[in-house]
Amino acid sequence: MRCYFLRHGVAVDPESYGGGDFERPLTRQGRERMEYEAKAIEKLALDLDRIVTGPLLRALQTAAVVAERLNMEERLALDPRLAPGFDLERFRAIVHDHADAAAIMLVGHEPSMSATLGRAIGNASIELKKAALAGVELEDETSTGTLVCLIPPKVLVALGKR
């Protein structure tokens, strides 16, 4: 299975936002940049079977932009295990639940996305910037594998603008 990790887009600053962290949305610019990124993801032809998103609003919004662009709204799944606290154990459970898929995308948050990605590829130190995309080719049920791509948001936006 191929598993893609997508960190949510640029969200409203937590210090200036009056609501709770779960309700903090993408900024207008963050949404616009995600539109370009979704176009780039479409061009990359990842052949995704499902998009699985965490429950925080900014992740839901990010996943919705990508799902809409890829005509995958019916294959978008909410999974609370991608909330803060996401770790290798939760990752393995999610992968197990989607074992019939050849490729999935997980949309979530820091610092757990980078930490879990790093552990899945052998305790590497990886930092996913906001809206960065990483891909891992997983080996069997161990949910460990090889990093096959790490694409910064600037590259995705540039590709999406072409």
Q: In what order do the strands lie in the sheet with 50-53?
A: 76-78, 50-53, 103-108, 2-7, 133-139, 144-151
- What is the model's pLDDT at position 67? 98
Taking the mean position of all CA atoms in its chain, how far away is CA 56?
12
- What is the model's pLDDT at position 117? 95
Structurally, the chain folds into a number of domains equal to 1
CA dist 11 and 9 (Å) reads 6
CA dist 154 and 85 (Å) reads 27
- pLDDT tier at 141 (50, 70, 90 boundaries)? low
52: which 2 tokens? 């699985």
Non-local (6+) Cβ contacts of 96 within 8 A are 141, 143
| Closest to 70 in 3D by CA, of 94, 43, 98, 52 | 43
Domain that holds residue 26: 2-161
154: which 2 tokens? 């600037």
Domain at 147, CATH number:
3.40.50.1240
For residue range 34-57, what is the model confidence (pLDDT) as tens digits? Answer: 999 999 999 999 999 999 999 999
- pLDDT tier at 20 (50, 70, 90 boundaries)? confident
Q: Measured on CA atoms in the order 29, 113, 120, 127, is the torsion positive or negative?
A: positive
Percent of the chain with pLDDT over 90: 85
* Average pLDDT over the chain, rounded to an integer: 94
CA dist 114 and 127 (Å) reads 5
- pLDDT tier at 80 (50, 70, 90 boundaries)? very high
The reported pTM is 0.95
- What is the model's pLDDT at position 15? 83
The answer to whether 83 and 110 have CB atoms below 8 angstroms apart is: no
For residue range 95-117, what is the model confidence (pLDDT) as tens digits? Answer: 999 999 999 999 999 989 999 99
